[in-house]
Structure 1
Amino acid sequence: MSTFARARCTLGAHPSALDAALAAAVLVCMVAGSFVDPHSPEGVTWGLRTPDVLSLVLMAVGAAALVFRRRAPLVVLAVTGCVSVVESVTGDPRAPVVMSTVVALYTVAASTDRPTTWRAGLLTMTVLTGAAMLAGPLPWYAQENLAVFAWTGIGASAGDAVRSRRAFVQAIRDRAEKAERTREEEARRRVAEERLRIARDLHDVVAHHIALVNVQAGVAAHVMDKRPDQAKEALAHVRAASRSALDELRATVGLLRQSGDPKAPTEPAPGLDRLDELAATFHHAGLHVEVARADQGTDLPAAVDLAAYRIIQEALTNVQKHAGTRAKAEVSVVRVGPDIEVTVLDDGAGAGDAPGAPGAPAGTGADGGGHGLLGMRERVAAVGGALTTGPRYGGGFRVHAILPVRNRTDAAEDPV
């Protein structure tokens, strides 16, 4: 760092010392200027005139007031303005006390707003120039009188320009800080959304398959001694369900790979094309499931297709867990205008007989204490749909989801 830069940093850290140094410099300039005679026959000559005592006092007062220019800029402007008026009326020979007023006016313009600068500047220019022209010892058209008008205008303009530049720089800094905060908030939001999506997928996969494993294991334990062939079949279903769970967990966890990893998951996300396979897994577990489709082979966006599959999977899993194997579930997928409506109903006939859930309320609503219904609502909201759940009249539970055939991005690109 250069000597000038170090000195600037030091003065910037001590503004009072900087103001005192500025006041001393202004005093030296005023005193030196009071010895100059611009009307000498030999031209501008220094040392041909000397200031009187009153002029020296006025210069000292004007310079001393500048020490407080940051604390009370308007008061300092008023003091230096009064000193300049007195000097303009009585000074002979003239002393440049108005220099302190120019510095004070610059400070007012740099530290206040533009309306205040306009009012203070016009008032100062008018009063000082009028006093010099009308009551001063020189003719009204003297160049010293016009110089008062010019220098006060320059001081106000320079201060306003500095204030505007400071405001512009501060605005740029504020926008940069806001943009940085926005980027950080967006990054945090994306991380939270990704964590929530992964949590939903893991919940759906684990809850579905573990519920099937739990039911089949209970069946195998119950018939192990009396009907070993049925127990063997149940254990086969347990093995198939656990293998399927491992495969889906592997695919889900594979999504967490870094982009530079040598391999990435290639298995597509499940959708309604695997609905019959999903129903078959529950059928093998002992739950009677009927599937009805009237979607005319609609090609759904990947997010909507996955959401529909997961909603049906979670709803049937809750039927299996809480309504029991004697319950009957009905699944319907219907195309209604621009939407796909997915409905899962159960009659709640086996309520209370599910292992580990004695006395549980009938239907899928029994999962209200967990994350099943919450995950459904989040999936539906993510694709811009609507979800309604609740008990049915006469027993059982109903899950009804309305999902848009086109997501919001596709709709924005295709106005038709």
Structure 2
Amino acid sequence: MTNFERCRGWARTHPLAVDAALAAAALVFMVIGSFAEPYGEQGSTWNVHAPGAMSLTLMGAGAAMLVFRRRAPWTVLATTSAFSIVELVSTGPRAPVVMCAVVALYTVAARTNRPTTWRVGLVTMAGLTGVAMVAGPLPWYGQENLGIFAWTGMAAAAGDAVRSRRAFVDAIRERAERAERTREEEARRRVAEERLRIARDLHDVVAHHIALVNVQAGVAAHVMDKRPDQAKEALAHVREASRSALGELRATVGLLRQNGDPEAPTEPAPGLARLDDLVDTFRHAGLPVEVARGDSGQPPPAAVDLAAYRIIQEALTNVQKHAGERAKAEVSVVRVGPNLEITVLDDGAGDDAQPVDDPDRGGGHGLIGMRERVSALGGRCSVGPRYGGGFRVHAILPVTTVKQGGREHSPARGGTA
């Protein structure tokens, strides 16, 4: 920090001391100026004289008032103007008491608005100059009278300029603070969105694989004594499902690593290219699943690809958990114009064939997360029971750029869901 900055900091914290120093300096200059008298005798331009007791009293009183110029600027301006008028109309040698009124006018102009500054400045300039021209001992055109007009006008203009500069600096500082708050809010929003996305992925991974592990473990326990070969096969499926769950959890949680953490092997986000592997896990768990695809095998955008995979995974997991033992499922992936339509049907008739879509009622977050994924991509999702029994999940995901209002907009490129 430089000496100038330290002085400015001290001045801001000790305003009364600064005003006292200003008042003392003004008193010194007024006393020095009171010894010079223009238009002296014997044709000389200047003459030296000693100020009278009244002039010294007015100069001292005016300087003392400047100490309180920040606390009561209007009172100080009125008082110093009155002292200046008394000095201007007095007889005998004159003293520059009007300097106090100039400083007071500058203070008022720096602390009020522009219209008030110009009104008060004009009144002060006209009043002091008019009194000096009409009632003063000098001719109306004397340079001291013109000097009063000039100094009061410059004081008002300088005060207005200082106020405008302070307002400009304050506005810049406020905009900077607002921009900083906006950046922080945006960062918090992005963190919340990423946290929600990771929570959805974790739910889908854990719910799917744990459901499969639960089913296969139950099968193994049931046939362990009578059919050990089938029990071994079920345990192998348990092991494969758990390994797959660990892999996806590692890939998802790896996003939470900080800079400098050791790198861990990750795998790409799952998509429709792995749909057959996903369906096979349910088939091995005893759920018959039929797949019909009409998407021409063209990979959609990454966000849509991941959302389609997770929707099918969650829907089949709900069938496995809620539809009953003899339920069957049908999966349809069809490309219709600019959209990708995902449909999952089942014919389950179990007691809990309809999943609860309210965590407060004891249900999970699966259907909520499914709708959030679709909404994030600008699509539509409908879930509900089928006529005649079973359940239906239908999602429409936009995959191509469409024109809206003359502008191109791609709802599928807003990031991963």
Query: Mapping of 1:82-161 within 5 angstroms?
Result: 82-161=82-161
Deviation at 1:161, TM superposition (A): 1.9
Residue of structure 2 equivalent to 1:384: 378
Query: Mapping of 1:248-397 within 5 angstroms?
Result: 248-257=248-257, 265=265, 267-349=267-349, 351-352=350-351, 361-365=352-356, 368=359, 369-397=363-391
Asked if residue 401 in structure 1 is aligned to residue 401 in structure 2, the reply is no
* Separation in 1, partners of 2:199, 2:390: 28
Deviation at 1:25, TM superposition (A): 2.0
Which stretch has the larger CA shift, 197-206 or 385-394? Answer: 385-394
Deviation at 1:148, TM superposition (A): 0.8
* Separation in 1, partners of 2:342, 2:279: 14
Query: For 1:220, what is the secondary structure of its paired residue?
Result: helix
Deviation at 1:143, TM superposition (A): 0.9
Contact kept? 1:322, 1:366, Cα under 8 Å? no
Amino acid corresponding to residue 127 of structure 2 in structure 1: V
RMSD of Structure 2 on Structure 1 (CA): 2.9
Deviation at 1:113, TM superposition (A): 1.8
Which stretch has the larger CA shift, 285-294 or 257-266? Answer: 257-266
* Separation in 2, partners of 1:395, 1:93: 113
Deviation at 1:304, TM superposition (A): 1.0
Amino acid corresponding to residue 46 of structure 2 in structure 1: V
Amino acid corresponding to residue 374 of structure 1 in structure 2: I
Query: For 1:110, what is the secondary structure of its paired residue?
Result: helix
Amino acid corresponding to residue 246 of structure 1 in structure 2: L
Residue of structure 2 equivalent to 1:218: 218
Query: For 1:71, what is the secondary structure of its paired residue?
Result: coil
Contact kept? 1:121, 1:152, Cα under 8 Å? yes
* Separation in 1, partners of 2:330, 2:91: 106
Unpaired segments ≥5 residues, structure 2: 412-417
Unpaired segments ≥5 residues, structure 1: 353-360
Deviation at 1:208, TM superposition (A): 0.8
Which stretch has the larger CA shift, 92-101 or 5-14? Answer: 5-14
Query: Mapping of 1:18-97 within 5 angstroms?
Result: 18-40=18-40, 41-45=43-47, 48-97=48-97
Contact kept? 1:319, 1:363, Cα under 8 Å? no
Amino acid corresponding to residue 364 of structure 2 in structure 1: G
**In 2 relative to 1, CA 129–259 (structure 1 residues): closer, same or farther, beyond 3 Å?**
same
**In 2 relative to 1, CA 408–150 (structure 1 residues): closer, same or farther, beyond 3 Å?**
farther
- TM-score normalised by L of structure 1: 0.86
**In 2 relative to 1, CA 23–216 (structure 1 residues): closer, same or farther, beyond 3 Å?**
same
Amino acid corresponding to residue 362 of structure 1 in structure 2: A
Q: How many residues align?
A: 403
* Separation in 1, partners of 2:322, 2:49: 109
Which stretch has the larger CA shift, 283-292 or 4-13? Answer: 4-13
Contact kept? 1:288, 1:325, Cα under 8 Å? no
Asked if residue 177 in structure 1 is aligned to residue 164 in structure 2, the reply is no
Residue of structure 1 equivalent to 2:166: 166
Amino acid corresponding to residue 372 of structure 1 in structure 2: G
Contact kept? 1:257, 1:264, Cα under 8 Å? no
- 1:237-295 CA distance string (max 9 Å, x none): 22222222233233334444556678565633211122232222212211122323333
Contact kept? 1:384, 1:407, Cα under 8 Å? no
Query: For 2:67, what is the secondary structure of its paired residue?
Result: helix
* Separation in 2, partners of 1:9, 1:204: 59
Deviation at 1:110, TM superposition (A): 1.4
